[in-house]
Amino acid sequence: MINWEDLLSQIRDDRQHGSAQLYQHTLAIIAKAALDSAVTTRSDLGAAIQAVFQAQPAMAPFHYLAHKLESITGGPDEGITSRVITLMDELQRSSQLAGERIAANFERFNLTPRSIMLHSNSGTVRELIRQCFSPNTTIFISEARPDLEGLLLAGDLVIEGFVVKTFVDDARAAVMKDVDLVILGSDWVTESDFTNKIGTYSLALTARELGKPVYVAADRTKFVWRRYRPVSMATSAYAESFYQNQLFEETPNQLVASFVTDFGSFSPQQAAFQFETIGA
């Protein structure tokens, strides 16, 4: 019997890639395991679901995926493998299209900023930047301490030919004066707030104070009712340390100009009504 915790250990330990990237990687892992006949019974599927829940509990796509897997647990063991393979194929296609649709919806705003601020490392935001802006646009990216994943995104965009300037997180107020707008990713969107890397809340408050609009790019897997979110999602203890390092935080939706998704763009008020159709 496959050890799902070991199989998803790389996903669980990753602190530098965004939820969309980790979700896509997890889909590929499960698809391969199913093709290798590692998911043949409801017991196998139950173990996979539990491992998915535990892999990245602070990221909504993993709850979305676990619930999708749970939806095929009914019926006999016969056919479970094919049902898992079919589901992974559907979710992989949907995930690949989501980034393109988000970028297309963002383009409808017809914005022409000279400079943009980003925070942390988001594959969804990276795809949006690639599709919607010319290399002449200056991209300011925070380091995103403590794991400095913002520097990974900076490196990717430099390779794409963009002018990129990184800054330490605490310089957000000084840098914000030089940007036209802010684009953020998200690990979780609820009816009242969204979760992203630590530092997002203060960045959004600074943007409001200086009159700079904040856009959040998030596909449908990120929109999950608040009641599904673990209470302990915000902290992760580093071994042998006397403090808890906070990796994620919630930011009120009211600080956002628009949520740009693969199924449309919504104001904070409108976004609160999307859960009827795409909730977990």
Considering the domain architecture, whether residues 249 and 183 belong to the same structural domain is answered as yes
Considering the domain architecture, whether residues 70 and 105 belong to the same structural domain is answered as no
- What single letter denotes the amino acid at residue 50? Q
Residue 82: CATH number of its domain: 1.20.120
**What is the total count of domains within the chain?**
2
Burial class (CB in 10 A: 0-12, 13-18, 19+), 209: exposed
Range of the domain at 125: 100-278
Considering the domain architecture, whether residues 85 and 189 belong to the same structural domain is answered as no
pLDDT at 244: 53
Domain termination site, one of 84, 99, 114: 99
* Radius of gyration, alpha carbons of the chain: 19
pLDDT at 277: 47
Domain termination site, one of 47, 72, 99: 99
Considering the domain architecture, whether residues 61 and 142 belong to the same structural domain is answered as no
Residues with Cβ within 8 Å of residue 182, at least 6 apart in sequence: 116, 117, 118, 119, 176, 203, 204, 207, 212, 213, 214, 215
CB 121, CB 144: distance < 8 Å: yes
Considering the domain architecture, whether residues 104 and 35 belong to the same structural domain is answered as no
Considering the domain architecture, whether residues 88 and 125 belong to the same structural domain is answered as no
Spatial separation of the C-alpha atoms in residues 81 and 265, rounded to whole Å: 36
CB 234, CB 58: distance < 8 Å: yes
Considering the domain architecture, whether residues 256 and 139 belong to the same structural domain is answered as yes
| pLDDT at residue 3 tops 50 | yes
| pLDDT at residue 241 tops 90 | no
Considering the domain architecture, whether residues 53 and 132 belong to the same structural domain is answered as no
Average pLDDT over residues 223-247: 56
Considering the domain architecture, whether residues 117 and 239 belong to the same structural domain is answered as yes
pLDDT in tens, 62-101: 999 999 999 898 777 889 999 999 999 999 999 999 999 9
Considering the domain architecture, whether residues 70 and 122 belong to the same structural domain is answered as no
pLDDT at 77: 80
Considering the domain architecture, whether residues 207 and 118 belong to the same structural domain is answered as yes
pLDDT in tens, 102-137: 999 999 999 999 999 999 999 999 999 999 999 999
What percent of the chain is predicted at pLDDT more than 70? 90
pLDDT in tens, 26-66: 999 999 999 999 999 999 999 999 999 899 988 999 999 99
Considering the domain architecture, whether residues 123 and 93 belong to the same structural domain is answered as no
